[in-house]
Amino acid sequence: MNLNYAIFRSEPIMTIGDLAQIGSHNKREKKAYQSNPDINLELTKNNIELVPLSDKYVKGFYELTKEYKKEHETRMKTEREDRKRTFKQMLDRSQNVVADELLFTATNEFFKDMTREDIKEWADTCMEFVYEDLGYTKEQVLHATVHMDEKTPHVHCVVVPLVKKFDKRTNTERYTISKKQYIKDKIHLSELQDKYHKRLTDKGYDLERGIKGSDRKHIKIKEYKKINRKLEENLNVRNNRLDKAMSEFDEKMKTTKNIPFNKNQVIVNKDTFDTMNKVINESKKIRELQPKIEQVFNEVNNYASSYKSLEKENQNIKREVKTLKSKNDKLEKENRNLQNIIKNIFERIKMFFRNILLKGNDKSKDLASEEVKEYYDYGEFQQHDIIDIAYGTTKEDELFDYAYIPDYHKSYNEDKDIDDDYGMSL
């Protein structure tokens, strides 16, 4: 007889950009999921919303934390200039999470004969655990959904551990986001997994407690080499595609440069605009590889360190580790070079959007504005990028409000000449 295991995991979300990406996945906002063949978009209509969220994750997060944001902005008014940070900058640069993703599932066999209603009942039990055992309130749950369009049904529950804590330095209570208020450490997590298992069995579900410590990864050297080689190949393919897209874009821009800008309108050839989007998409695909590269790099370093004590006893392992670390260093160097390339590409894209917002017609401005919002939601543009693009344009108020940029950054003198730092030297 096959045993079915109850599975509960917690994954920290460290930045607003990460939150946007997770939201896009959980809410199935992408048009296609080539990277995950397990997702069947035809079955997405069967997904179950436990705690719905009509907005995107980032907008929902800012609504949930609006009092925290007000408190932060009030504090920044009296802060030294060199220490001032926007709310988003403070969150991204802190060592704390911005949110926590709770994943609930079981082995595939457990769901075999369940109806949609049965799975909903199981998922409701998972949410009872969130509220009664973890201690989150319904106001702290950003979104919770059951994915029925993958091989094994599972719950994604994203919570924002926003709390008020006493600050000894200021002798006041202040808002903060603290996962440790709910999951203190690995020992506590293991205890919570025990409670999760008990809650399910008390409801009559025939499930074993998940294997303790099963989240730890022990990968052999040969497997690391295989992963590293695959990443190298993917990086090379993406790099070649990016080079090709950039070449096409440069050719298109030669034609665009010959089209003059007047005071009221900029004309952008559709082929040029499509080619620019191709460059953006290829850049995004490279960026999607970067977390995997960094994860493998960190794991290899840790793996290599764990073998230091065995170097004298096993020279073969030593040589394997040395070779692997050398390849990994090369991969990290290539990744840094790609980051610089992508940075330059995004600067050119910012120039492109700014020129459209300055001189485009209403339709092209609306299109550009929506694109800029999309890049901000996905963490591709930060607040300072929005300022650079929108300052002094007719879309300034709309984009500044969308990115929660403080009023003191806004331009209010409509008659002053706008110093366009970007020009059109593409």
Write down the mean pLDDT value for the chain. 80
pLDDT at residue 109 above 80? Answer: yes
Please list the alpha-helical segments (H only) found in 100-218.
Answer: 116-128, 186-202
Please say if the pLDDT value at position 50 is more than 80: yes
User: What is the pLDDT confidence band of residue 422, given thresholds at 50, 70 and 90?
Assistant: very low
The single-letter code of the amino acid at 198 is: K
Q: Give the confidence band of 262 by pLDDT, cuts at 50, 70, 90.
A: low
pLDDT of residue 68: 94
State how far the alpha carbon of 99 is from the alpha carbons of 173, 313, 382, in Å: 21, 45, 19
For residue 112, what pLDDT band results from cuts at 50, 70 and 90?
confident
CA–CA distance, 161 with 163 (Å, rounded to integer): 6
Q: How confident is the model at residue 107 (pLDDT cuts 50, 70, 90)?
A: confident
Name the residue among 281, 232, 236, 262 with its Cα closest to residue 359: 262
Contacts of 100 (CB under 8 A, 6+ apart): 10, 11, 12, 13, 158, 159, 160, 161, 179, 182, 183
Q: What is the pLDDT of residue 295?
A: 64
Is the pLDDT at 35 greater than 70? The verdict is no
Q: What is the pLDDT of residue 161?
A: 95
Asked whether residue 182 carries a pLDDT value surpassing 90, the answer given is: yes
- 105 beta partners: 7
**H/E element, 351:** helix 315-359
3-state secondary structure of 277: helix
Lowest mean pLDDT among 41-50, 57-66, 231-240: 231-240
Q: Give the range with max mean pLDDT: 152-156, 207-211, 254-258.
A: 152-156
In the chain, the domains with their CATH numbers are: 5-209 (3.30.930.30), 221-409 (no CATH)
Round to whole Å and give the CA distance between 113 and 271: 52
Q: Please tell me the predicted confidence (pLDDT) of residue 83.
A: 85
- Token pair, residue 405, equals 């940029």
Structure tokens belonging to residue 333: 């160097």
Cα–Cα distances (Å) from 52 to 129, 143, 145, 157, in that order, read 18, 6, 8, 11
Nearest Cα residue to 134 out of 174, 186, 188, 200: 188
Residue 7 phi/psi, 5-degree rounding, is -125, 125
pTM summary value: 0.53
> pLDDT by residue (tens digit) across 317-337?
666 777 888 888 888 888 888
Check: CB of residue 171 under 8 Å from CB of residue 156.
no
**SS3 assignment, position 78:** coil
Helix/strand/coil for 85: coil
Q: How far apart are CA 4 and CA 1, in angstroms?
A: 10
**Which of the pair, 20 or 226, is modelled with greater confidence?**
20
Structure tokens at 75: 């504090």
